[in-house]
A and B are shown apart, each in its own frame.
Chain A
Amino acid sequence: MKKTALALIIIQSILVFSCKKDSTGGSVAPIAKTITNLAADPGTGVNPQNGQPVGTIERFTLFNFSSGVIVSNTDSASNKWDIGFKGTTIIFNSGTSGPGNAGVILKDGVLDDITTAPTTGYLTDNASGYAIPVGSGKGWYTYDGGAMVIRPTAGKILLIRTADNKYVKMEIISYYKDAPASPTFMIPARYFTFRYFYQGDGSTVLK
């Protein structure tokens, strides 16, 4: 009996352990992922006169961290999404943007160095502005007026609480299609590439 119990415990722990290792496993497993070319209302083209996008539909692209997929806009009033993108504007599912409990902390650092999520201090979208302020140098990007290019500011890490109170760390890598190392204004913009780590077990452990 004792042996069986021990064996069961061992098997169970192996299972738990392997579950943690296996990112495609159950819902409690952490996920480390890179999302490429998430279209954030890119429009139908670019105005050759001024490089501004044309044909935009002024709609946020909603995204869920645990599934790693885009959520339909018909679900905007649900907890199914965590974060939304439209051009350089980023929203979170809470406050004035949605019914969830999402929030964000902008932190200067390196993604791999951050191993714990804070439990407080998350900002939400509200009437006086977005949780991530808009404008060059204010939030996640810097606008280079000379090259007319948006660059994600190096070292800006987004610590995120999801709509259902899980923790995520995330870094935006590029705003241009196929994430070129040196983008120019001629490359289609409003395509996000980002890396993130999702802790599904509800703990603050981000590694």
Chain B
Amino acid sequence: MKLSLLVLSLLFFITTDLHGQNDTSMTRALDPVFVTAHRDGRKLSTLSTAALFIPQEQIKIMGSVRVQQILAEQNGIQIVPQVNGLGFGIQLQGFNPDYTLILLDGEPLIGRNTGLLDINRLSINPIKQIEIVKGPSSSLYGSEALAGVVNIITQRSNENQLKASIKQSSHQTSDISVSGGYTHQNGDALIQVSRFATNGYDLSPASYGQTVSPHQQWSFFGKTNKSIGKHDLSLSARYFNEEQQSQYLVNQTATKGTGNIQDWMINPVWKFKMTPYIHSTLRAYYTQYNATAVYLKDHSEEVISNDDFHQSFARIEWNPKIRINEYQTILAGAGLVNEKINTIRYGSNEPRHQYTQYAFGQYTITPSDHKELNLGLRYDHNNVYGGQLSPKISFITPVTASLLWNGSAGMGFKSPDFRQLYLDFTNAAGGGYIVLGREVLNEKLSSLQNQNLIATLLKDVSNENAIKPERSYSFNTAIKSVQGQFNWELGLFYHRVSELIETEPVAQLTSGSNIYSYFNISKVRIQGLDAQCQWRLNQALRLQAGYQLLYAHDLQQLDLLKQGLKFRRDPVTLSSVRINQADYFGLSNRSRHSAQIKLFYQSQDQPWNASVRMQYRSRFGLGSNSGVVQGGEVFVSERSGNDILDKYDAFVKGYALMNISAGWTAWKPLELQIGIDNVWNKTIPEALPSLPGRIIYFNVNYSISKKAKHS
């Protein structure tokens, strides 16, 4: 038996005949192809980089409709609040959300308003699989791919089908989705419409406003493919609209607001098999993200705040692939990106641009079935910060008959975002301090100096070079077993990130308030271990378990600790006491230990399926920037007055969650599912607003399909 076949059947043999598409799902489960790691199909079992693969069958059995929820249950991923409290994102291998690139069918999602993409915008209905590459992937994807890449791959229609699903859950949340697919000999098309509405929830009812405000979302998605001889053409498009009604306390004033988010994208792709050995892909992508919000004083028409944010991203990329022979492949690419933002947050509505040109190449040699070496290199040139070179090397090789060893080393980078370049913000309510992006700093500073508003310069910025991208280099390695009913994987990771951008005061105004700007300041080291195993207990039962050990430290703080220059306050006398290196816990919002255990039941003979999934996260600290928790007290760890999280600070206690689900195929086209997320009703309002209490849901899926002739 082929080794890979065995592994894959063990790992992902969660078949389903619920849709009458038994054949396709079985085929896929036996041989999942992972595309994100090398932008080219690879068998998951012999992937040279650390990765997570979530098949559609598992998503279904989990009863989740939101990408965020699915990701939250994966090994090495935590859902963490955005630095400014606007939405949540994923922490992958200990990195903040904005260091993971999020792709939809290989194209980046935008709308990282202030550094974070709200993945709640994605409803999962047409999703085929989610692929997660752990470790830097800038050698293929450029900026943002420091921690890794999440690629959400949508389903392509493979039969004539009509599906409808309704999910009703706690907090008057409903998700309704209808999709239709058409498949013909040389082409197919799929269209999906979904509506999500929720009343939100409130974890601190005593205070004004809800933790999560009511919102309604509409999303439309369409995708079509057509083959004409050696040409494959595809076109996909998406439109999303969200309305939100929220109540906030703005400087103790009750306000009522409405927010609107719209995004849309279009993505035509032309693949041309020039010869059996040379394939060319040309892809274009345009997406736009618009967010507007108006806040009025409650019970009056007085406008308290007005926000307006428009972002667009246009990219064209040519992507040839050359198969030199049976063992060697070259993948190359070159592209142009034009990103534009205009927002009143940057002082004027004047549009700001970033232009990037890039080229990359990847050479792969596969001497035998389980041996592979990849060499990749990418060069990005940007109008603001200049050039960036991102190399990567990865390999996999058998060590014994039943063990494979893989490893990768690579560099990643993250461009300074628009806010760090162009922000022009005066906090009139909060004491009149000013935050300026680095590209506008000198100009604004001299204008303030001319008006005699500057009291003291705190930092000489006249000779500062342009802000640089944040850089990382990383290593990932793992041993994986490939034999028997039980198999496992044990990996290590190491990231060293430098030039991290932070704010620093540059001048003091005559009013006494400071002017801040962004500078490349800190260095961070993130390292850890991850382990996972899958156990096939019998034909129908699968047990999966995962564990991550994580250490994330600020290197400058470590230096100070080594020199004996870090102190804490004794909680009783409040006097300073020197602290040891061992007392330093590390960066905020990182748990030392996280683990999950999941049990899936799915039989081919029975119309039943079920799952029990538990996750654990050990204690963690929250910095002062842990996010604004709407309508409640904010948990702040700091007790010892020293800028670092040490063992004398306050911690959010470790916690465990349990989710359960059960599904029943009543008769062929109709499937029912019931489930409870967060069975133990765990909430930590002051620290984890992303965690609602117990959610009970009920799902009804109806699908009819007719096999297309050719499949």
Residues on A lying within 8 angstroms of B by beta carbon are 48-50, 52, 87, 89, 108-111, 128-129, 133-138, 142, 144-147, 151-157, 171, 173-174, 179, 181-182, 193, 195
Contacts and interface: CB of A to CB of B under 8 A. Distances in A.
14 contacts: A128-B456, A134-B456, A135-B508, A136-B505, A138-B505, A146-B623, A147-B624, A152-B641, A153-B641, A154-B569, A154-B576, A181-B571, A182-B639, A195-B575
B574 A129 contact: no
A108 B458 contact: no
Nearest to A193: B574
Given A110-B576, A153-B641, A171-B575, 7 more contacts: A49-B251, A144-B638, A146-B628, A146-B636, A154-B568, A155-B565, A171-B576
A154 B587 CA distance: 18
Interface residues of B, number: 37
Contact of A144 (B569, B571, B624): B624
Nearest to A52: B431
B707 interface: no
Nearest to B568: A154
Contacts of B505: 135-136, 138
A23 B577 CA distance: 25
Nearest to A155: B567
B634 interface: yes
Contacts of A151: 638, 641
B430 interface: yes
Interface of B: 251-253, 429-431, 456, 458, 505, 508, 512, 514, 565-569, 571-572, 574-578, 623-626, 628, 634, 636, 638-643
A10 to B, nearest CB: 38
Contact of A111 (B508, B565, B576): B576
Contacts of B429: 49-50
Given A49-B429, A129-B456, A142-B643, A179 B252 contact: no
B567 A110 contact: yes
A180 to B, nearest CB: 9
Contact of B251 (A50, A171, A179): A50
A108 B565 contact: yes
Contact of B574 (A52, A128, A153, A174): A174
Contacts of A87: 512
Contact of A110 (B508, B578, B625, B626): B578
Contacts of A128: 456
Nearest to B578: A110
A140 to B, nearest CB: 11
A142 B518 CA distance: 18
A109 B571 CA distance: 17
Given A49-B252, A153-B642, A146 B567 contact: no
B457 to A, nearest CB: 9
A135 B455 CA distance: 12
Contacts of A134: 456, 508, 512
Contacts of B577: 110, 154
Contact of B642 (A52, A147, A154): A154
Contacts of A111: 575-576
Contacts of B431: 50, 52
10 closest A-B pairs by beta carbon, nearest first, are A155-B567, A146-B624, A154-B567, A154-B641, A144-B624, A154-B642, A173-B574, A151-B641, A49-B251, A155-B576
Nearest to A136: B505
Contacts of B578: 110, 155
A49 B639 contact: no
A68 B252 CA distance: 40
A157 to B, nearest CB: 8
Interface centre among B253, B505, B574, B636 (most CB of A within 10 A): B574
Nearest to A133: B458
Contacts of A153: 641-643
B514 A135 contact: yes
Contacts of A50: 251, 429-431
Interface centre among A133, A137, A145, A193 (most CB of B within 10 A): A145
Nearest to B642: A154
Contacts of B571: 181
Contacts of A135: 458, 505, 508, 514
B405 to A, nearest CB: 44
Nearest to A112: B575
A60 to B, nearest CB: 14
B253 A173 contact: no
A142 B568 CA distance: 13
A144 B626 CA distance: 11
B631 to A, nearest CB: 16
A151 B623 CA distance: 14
Contact of A147 (B251, B514, B638): B638
B569 A138 contact: no
A108 B634 CA distance: 30
Given A154-B568, A173-B575, A182-B639, A145 B624 contact: yes
A2 B76 CA distance: 86
A87 B253 CA distance: 26
Contacts of A137: 643
A138 B506 CA distance: 11
A203 B569 CA distance: 29
Contacts of B625: 145-146
Contacts of A195: 575
Nearest to B626: A146
A6 B567 CA distance: 49
Contacts of A157: 576
B252 A146 contact: no
A135 B575 CA distance: 22
Interface centre among A87, A155, A181, A182 (most CB of B within 10 A): A155
A124 B391 CA distance: 52
